[in-house]
Every structure is written in C-alpha cells, then in structure tokens.
C-alpha cells in the first residue's frame, strides 16, 4: 500500500515541487496539501495521512509550534522541510528533539535533484511507529556514575534517522570524564556544527564538531562534520581524528562503516562500538569488524528504534554483542569502559 502524505508549506511553488517529487514514486500518494497550520489541522482530521511533510517557517503558527501540538495530541511521522539558514538549522534540530521523524533541506540554486531522498524517507516514516517525545533538558551526571573512573577504551557510535533523540539520550548519561568518543551521525553539513553545540549544552562532557588532527581526549566527544568528508581515528601512539576526502560509502559521507573500520584497526579490544537507530545498513559491517578485533559492541533494540534498519542488519550479521533499549545503552557503555580495580 502506498504511503499517504499530506504536504504542508506556505509556498504554492514549494508544495507543487514536493508533490511532484513524491508522486513520481509509485509507492507514495500525496493525498492533500495545506498552506498553514490551520489548514493542516483540518486536513489531518479529514484525511488521516500516514506522513506529514512540514515547513519550518509558516505564517500564523510556525512549523515547530505545530509539530509540538501534533506530537502531544496526535503523534504521527513528520518530516521537516527546512532552509539551510542558521535559524532554520536550529529550528530543525529542535524539531528532531521534539519527535520529528527526519528532516530534508529545501533546494538551493543549481540543485540537480531537489528532494532526492524525500520519497525514501517518507516510505520509511510510514513504516515507523512514532511516540510523543519531550524535548530534553540539561541534566547533571546521574549519581550512579559520580565515582566513574575512566579506563583506556575509545567509544565509537553510529546513528542516522532518529539519531538526534537517541544520541541525546545516550550522551546525557555520560559524566564529564567520559571516555574519548567519536560519532558519525548522518546529517546535512549545515546541521552538524549546531548539533554539536546543542549536545555540548545538554551534556556534561565537552562535545565538538571533529576537526582534522584533533587529539582524542578524556571528557571529549567528537561529532563527524556532515557532507564532504569521512571521520576516522588514526595514530595508535597518540589517537586523533582524521577527516578523509573520499567518495560516499553505503551512500553516505560521512559513513559509519568508515569510522568503525578505523576504530577496529586502531583500538581493537580497547574499543566499544555502538549502533543506533537509522535507515539502511551503514555501520553493520564495520561493527562486525570491531567485534572480530575484540571490541565490545552494542545495538539499539527494535522497540526503541525510530527505524530498525542499521541495528537490525548489524544484529543479523552477528556484529552486536548485546541489544539493548535506548535508555540502557549509556549506562552499559560506562560499565564497559570503566577502569577495573587493580589496573592502570
């Protein structure tokens, strides 16, 4: 059955473009359009769509305010459509925290294939089960990890669709002296810097966008910049980030597989690999390589994944040592990385 979509945007031109792109996929059916939140509310009541595409900036009530009402009153998969401005980026990140399924960027001049991945995201959204999500608040490290003593392990995390919520949930469990942690999250290039800044405000450790040559340090988390390069970890004697110019892997740049492969080679058994919610299979093969190298490995379970794609493939490959609900993953990482009594 085709995914039934309501397109919400105040621009008739943009509504027409989104509709044309989606209607070109035989597995997607645009059942209605709306120009503002009031029209969208009535259309949702009347048409009961599987998925809504929602413009961030609209008159009367902006997309963020309307999304909050949807998630509170009638949770359903919503894909945010955003401009690539700083304001649009911050609003989109807030939307993902509230519970939006995913985001896409409005086309820029010269784009050959506008909204190229929108239909695939809509179909994945239609298959998902959304839950109302409350935006996280800054928290202190839980008392249970107040006496955490970091060992010598490196943590590598991969995530995609649903990863904004998932990463916040995991990283808010980390104390200020967390193990060095590297993350690849599939996200447009304009979003990762703002997302790192947001994580830095919400979490006890220092969170920053990874830069080429940045030394891995205790208490720091490094987020792969989106778009142009892959993130690797290199140099066994003094581990650091390397940003690699290379073609996309598994359709992604940065790729989780590229990160996990490098951590397997660099750290072996002194690493923990974690694969979270996401579409596709990126990271599964790399996590298997990490496990074969002696690393501990974790995967998010199906019930708590927005999209049980990447974790499912990794689990079926035998790459996942333990499959856990999202709220247990942060604590398990700390158990796996804590310094044991009697060791250096």
Cite the active site residues. 160, 186, 282
What span, in angstroms and rounded, lies between the C-alpha atoms of 55 and 136?
23
DSSP structure string for 126-161 = HHS-----PPP---PPPGGGTT--B-S-EEEEEE-T
Nearest to 326 by CA among 299, 300, 306, 308: 300
Nearest to 284 by CA among 316, 328, 242, 324: 316
Query: Distance of CA 219 to CAs 148, 155, 157, 260, Å?
Result: 12, 12, 15, 20
CB 79 within 8 A of CB 42: no
Nearest to 165 by CA among 335, 327, 332: 327
Query: Which two structure tokens, joined as six digits, stand for 307?
Result: 């999209």
């Amino acid at each position: 059955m085709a995914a039934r979509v309501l397109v919400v945007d105040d621009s008739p031109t943009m509504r027409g473009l989104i509709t044309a792109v989606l209607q070109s996929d035989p597995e997607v059916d645009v059942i209605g359009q709306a120009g503002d939140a009031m029209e969208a509310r009535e259309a949702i009541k009347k048409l009961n769509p599987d998925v809504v595409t929602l413009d961030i900036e609209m008159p009367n009530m902006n997309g963020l305010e309307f999304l909050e009402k949807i998630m509170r009153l009638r949770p359903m998969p919503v894909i945010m459509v955003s401009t690539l401005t700083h304001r649009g980026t911050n609003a989109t990140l807030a939307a993902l925290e509230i519970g939006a399924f995913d985001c896409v960027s409005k086309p820029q001049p010269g784009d050959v294939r506008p909204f190229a991945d929108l239909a695939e995201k809509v179909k994945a959204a239609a298959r998902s089960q959304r839950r109302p999500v409350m935006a996280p608040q800054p928290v202190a490290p839980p008392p249970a990890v107040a006496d955490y003593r970091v060992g010598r392990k490196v943590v590598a995390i991969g995530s995609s669709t649903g990863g904004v919520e998932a990463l916040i949930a995991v990283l808010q469990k980390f104390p200020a002296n967390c193990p060095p942690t590297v993350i690849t999250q599939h996200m447009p290039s304009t979003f990762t810097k703002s997302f790192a800044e947001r994580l830095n405000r919400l979490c006890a450790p220092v969170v920053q966008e990874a830069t080429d040559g940045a030394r891995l340090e205790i208490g720091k988390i490094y987020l792969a910049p989106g778009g142009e390069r892959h993130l690797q970890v290199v140099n066994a004697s003094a581990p650091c980030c390397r940003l690699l110019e290379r073609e996309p892997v598994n359709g992604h740049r940065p790729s989780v597989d590229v990160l996990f492969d490098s951590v397997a080679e660099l750290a072996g058994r002194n690493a923990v690999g974690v694969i979270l919610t996401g579409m596709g299979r990126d990271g599964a093969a790399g996590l298997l390589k990490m496990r074969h190298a002696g690393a501990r490995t974790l995967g998010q379970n199906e019930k708590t994944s927005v999209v049980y794609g990447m974790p499912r493939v990794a689990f079926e490959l035998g790459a996942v040592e333990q499959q856990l609900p999202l709220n247990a993953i942060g604590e398990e990482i700390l158990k796996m990385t804590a310094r044991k009594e009697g060791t250096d």
